[in-house]
């Protein structure tokens, strides 16, 4: 177990800058989740921490030691590769037991740990197969198992559950949480799954094009996004954005829809008069509105029933917004409705900088 700190971490391929000076302090035993658009440098960062990619600039410390030049095996980390990287010539058991063998763990204990992990991942019956004989999800679980049989200083998980079905993913997710609570190893975890990010993370790191966009607890990240990007990226369906201007105490949309600023930012209305803003509203914050003041005139566009909820896409001014409604709401497409909104949940961003307005 150890802390991990990235200082001005840089990675370039030739002239192409992939990671642009990432600064991040991960406390000992912390569970940090990286999220970000595909290609933003998550895996690369992970691989640099693991020592698999040369570092173009900056430094990485695990615990107190500077590991920039340390070979992977000396860093004592376990990793789940995004592309599995299973040993095709070894059986599942051998794949999972390999590191233990290398570290000279007594074979009886090794077996036991492998079996435990395999059971927990539901691949106990596949232990004698070769990777080539496994399904995608099974391979991914083997990759997972290969990491969790170990007790390293740091766990690195790169989208470890992406090929599992929701149910299984849920189970494994809770197992990981339990594991972390039990042995409290530092974990860096890359995922595209909102639920995983929200439930597992102590802190979520949002990367964008090789830069850190925001770092914070799941709650902060979700409810107080620092930028339009974060707001739009975290949460699914994504946060809605609409242009508006602040006129005489009202949030005024292009089509004349109005919301009382006081309701939106009780006590923090000062100095906003006349500003162009971007209004961010989460889909679940539409719907039954406590007071009629907080409603918007809207025209229903598309209705998507998801079973658990129904997504209603409607237009306000130029922008198409999405509301998440109870499963059995079925408004008529084309219908003119008044869509309620919870003003207190509204986020305001500066139209120019796209940064949040506090």
Partner 1 sequence: MSAVAAPGLSGLLSGRPLRFLAGAVLIVNGMFPALWILFTSLKTEAELTAKPITWVPHAPTLANYMQAFSDQPLHLFLFNSFMVALLSTCLTLLVSVLAAYALARLDLRYRGLILSLIIAVSTFPLVTLLVPLFEIMRTLNLLNTWVALVLPYTVLSLPVCTLMLVSFFEGIPRDLENAAMIDGCTRLGALFKVVVPLCAPGVFTAGILAFVNAWDEFLLALSFNSNPALRTLPVGIQLYQGEFAFPWPVISAALVVGIVPVAVLIVIFQERVVSGLTAGGIKG
Partner 2 sequence: MTTTSILNAASNADRGPPAWTRWLDLGDRALGVVLLAPAAILLALIIVYPVLRLGYTSFFSLSLTSGLPAEFVGLENYSLMLEDPVFWETTWNTVLITLITVPGALLVGLALALLANLPFGVQWPVRLSLLIPWALPLSFAGLIFAWFFHSEYGVVNDVLVRLGFEGIIWFNSPNWAFAAICLTIVWKTSSFMALIILAGLQTIPRSLYEAADVDGAGRVRQFFEITLPLLKPSIVVALIFRTITALQTFDIPYMMTGGGPGTSTSTLAMYIHQNTVSFLDLGYGSALAVVMFALSMCVTAVYLRAIRTKE
Ligand X SMILES: Nc1ncnc2c1ncn2[C@@H]1O[C@H](COP(=O)(O)OP(=O)(O)OP(=O)(O)O)[C@@H](O)[C@H]1O
- Smaller CB distance to partner 1: residue 6 or 78? 78
By the rule CB under 8 A, 138 interacts with its own copies? yes
By the rule CB under 8 A, 267 interacts with partner 1? no
Q: How many CB atoms lie within 10 A of CB 160?
A: 28
Q: 239 near 279, Cβ under 8 Å? A: no
- Smaller CB distance to Mg ion: residue 64 or 165? 165
Task: Report the site for partner 2 in 42-81 (rule: CB under 8 A).
Answer: 50-52, 69-74, 76-79, 81
- Smaller CB distance to ligand X: residue 42 or 146? 42
Among the listed residues 12, 65, 107, 133, the single contact to partner 1 using CB under 8 A = 133
By the rule CB under 8 A, 109 interacts with partner 1? no
Determine the interface stretch with Mg ion among 40-48, 84-92, 206-214, 344-352 (rule: CB under 5 A).
Answer: 40-48
Among the listed residues 87, 232, 319, 354, the single contact to its own copies using CB under 8 A = 232
CA dist., res. 216 & res. 226, Å (int): 10
* Dihedral (Cα; 115, 121, 122, 127), 10-degree rounding: -40
Phi, psi for residue 271 in degrees, rounded to 5:
65, 20
- Smaller CB distance to its own copies: residue 62 or 156? 156
By the rule CB under 8 A, 305 interacts with its own copies? yes
Q: Supply the minimum distance, in Å, between the C-beta of residue 47 and partner 2.
A: 8
By the rule CB under 5 A, 140 interacts with Mg ion? no
- Only one residue has tokens 């658009």, namely 37
- Smaller CB distance to ligand X: residue 121 or 239? 121
Q: Among partner 2, partner 1, Mg ion, none, what does residue 116 contact (CB within 5–8 Å per kind)?
A: partner 2
By the rule CB under 8 A, 128 interacts with its own copies? no
CA dist., res. 143 & res. 85, Å (int): 7
Q: Supply the minimum distance, in Å, between the C-beta of residue 136 and partner 1.
A: 8
* Binding interface with ligand X (CB under 6 A): 13, 16, 18, 36, 38-44, 82, 133-138, 163
Q: Supply the minimum distance, in Å, between the C-beta of residue 315 and partner 1.
A: 40
Site residues (vs partner 1, CB under 8 A): 47, 50-54, 71-73, 77-79, 81-89, 98-99, 102-103, 130-134, 136, 139, 146
């Amino acid at each position: 177990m150890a802390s991990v700190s990235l200082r001005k971490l840089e990675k370039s391929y030739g002239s192409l800058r992939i990671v642009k000076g990432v600064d991040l302090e991960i406390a000992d035993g912390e569970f940090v989740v990286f999220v970000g658009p595909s290609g933003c440098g998550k895996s690369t960062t992970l691989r640099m921490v693991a020592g698999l990619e040369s570092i173009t600039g900056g430094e990485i410390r695990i615990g107190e030691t500077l590991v920039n030049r340390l070979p992977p095996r000396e860093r004592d980390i376990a990793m789940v590769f995004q592309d599995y990287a299973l040993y095709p010539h070894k059986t599942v058991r051998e794949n999972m037991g390999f590191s233990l063998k290398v570290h000279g763990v007594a074979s009886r204990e090794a077996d036991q740990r492998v079996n435990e992990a395999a059971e927990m991942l539901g691949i106990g019956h596949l232990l004698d197969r070769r990777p080539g004989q496994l399904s995608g999800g099974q391979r991914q679980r083997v990759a997972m198992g290969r990491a969790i049989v170990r007790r390293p200083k740091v766990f690195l998980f790169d989208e470890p559950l992406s090929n599992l079905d929701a149910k299984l993913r849920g189970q494994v997710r809770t197992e990981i949480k339990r594991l972390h609570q039990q042995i409290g190893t530092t974990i860096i975890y890359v995922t595209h799954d909102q639920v995983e990010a929200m439930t597992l993370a102590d802190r979520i790191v949002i990367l964008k094009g090789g830069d850190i966009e925001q770092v914070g607890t799941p709650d902060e990240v979700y409810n107080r996004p620092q930028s339009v990007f974060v707001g739009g990226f975290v949460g699914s369906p994504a946060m809605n954005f609409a242009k508006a201007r602040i006129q005489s105490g009202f949030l005024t949309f292009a089509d004349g829809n109005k919301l009382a600023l006081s309701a939106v930012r009780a006590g923090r209305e000062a100095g906003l008069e006349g500003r162009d803003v971007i209004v961010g509203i989460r889909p679940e914050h539409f719907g039954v509105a406590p007071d009629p003041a907080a409603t918007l005139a809207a025209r229903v566009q598309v209705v998507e029933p998801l079973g658990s909820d129904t997504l209603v896409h409607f237009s306000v001014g130029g922008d198409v917004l999405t509301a998440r409604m109870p499963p059995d709401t079925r408004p008529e497409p084309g219908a003119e409705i008044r869509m309620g909104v919870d003003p207190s949940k509204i986020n305001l961003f500066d139209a120019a900088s796209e940064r949040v307005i506090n």
